[in-house]
Amino acid sequence: MNRLETILAHKQREIEERLQTVSPEQLERDIQETLPPPDFREALRRPPGAPVRLIAEIKRASPSRGQMAPIANPIELAHCYQQNGAAAISVLTDARFFSGSLEDLRAIAALPHHPPLLRKDFILHPIQILEARAAGASAVLLIAACLSPASLRHLMAYAAELGMSALVEVHNEAELEQVLTCQPEIIGINNRNLRTFEVDPYTALRLLPLIPSPMIKVAESGIHTPEDAHRFADAGFDALLVGEALVTAANPGEKMKELIGVVE
């Protein structure tokens, strides 16, 4: 098995266990008792001449790097991101491979006036989207490499039904071609190959011209320096998703400013 296959096999088992213990009806009741989350799509929209938007990530670990940052207090880090102009915050909720949790997401969603939150996980089943919405997420990550076109359409539609956005992630031309038939509103291009976890920083630049202009475009992975950030911003991306460079920085707020300046 490659790394992605290993992760997906574990995630499928995890979902089966969750389905035995989680009540969809209770999650739906919880959702009805909460306010609608802030709009992820509009937060990422970049008007002409405006600075590139930043999705700042809460990320403790990864399969390629192992443990990167302890992040004992994700609320504190999220508050730092919020104070330094993050358009949205991505929260890793996978426990086994990324040391995250839905509790991190739920805690950050309790922050007053927080920006839109993205549940970043390997989403394979509607229950994960329902959990995300109940925990306060505005959006979920849907990875083309993990889903058939039919499953992708179904999960996109279910997210929309719950008032959420979907960040649909691709890694190559073949995935992008399939995804475009689903007409997503937000496309993320991940420079990291999920099967090998190697990063090619030019993947996003190669695929960008193939995406129709009305769609919101997000560059992911391999963004560490101001030169990296400006390269993607100048190419026309609406937003950058940055995790490792922020969580490993001595001062994440200053690192945000170093990468792209003060974000509106």
Exactly one of 14, 57, 131, 175 is catalytic; which is it? 57
The answer to whether residue 198 is catalytic is no
Active site (annotated) includes residue 62: no
Choosing from 11, 59, 217, 255, the catalytic residue is 59
SS3 string, 91-121, reads EECCCCCCCCCHHHHHHHHCCCCCCCEEEEC
Of the residues 190, 191, 193, 244, only one is catalytic, namely 190
Q: How far is CA 45 from CA 26, 176, 208, 240, in A?
A: 33, 20, 16, 12
Residue 190 is a catalytic residue: yes
Any idea of the CA torsion for 156, 157, 163, 165, to the nearest 10 degrees?
20
Q: Are 78 and 114 in contact (CB under 8 A)?
A: yes
Burial class of residue 227, CB neighbours in 10 A (0-12, 13-18, 19+): exposed
DSSP designation for 35: P
Q: Would residue 120 show up in a list of annotated catalytic residues for this protein?
A: yes
SS3 193: coil
Residue 151 annotated among the catalytic residues of the structure: no
Based on the residue annotation, tell me whether 255 is a catalytic residue of this protein.
no
φ/ψ region of 79 (left if φ > 0, alpha if ψ in -120 to 50, else beta) reads alpha
- Catalytic residue, candidates 131, 169, 175, 244: 169
Q: Catalytic: which of 11, 120, 217, 255?
A: 120
How many Cβ atoms are within 10 Å of 159's Cβ, its own excluded?
A: 24
Integer Cα distance of 24 and 37 in angstroms: 19
Residue 16: active-site member:
no
The one catalytic residue in 99, 220, 244, 255 is 220
Task: Enumerate the active-site residues.
Answer: 57, 59, 120, 169, 190, 220-221
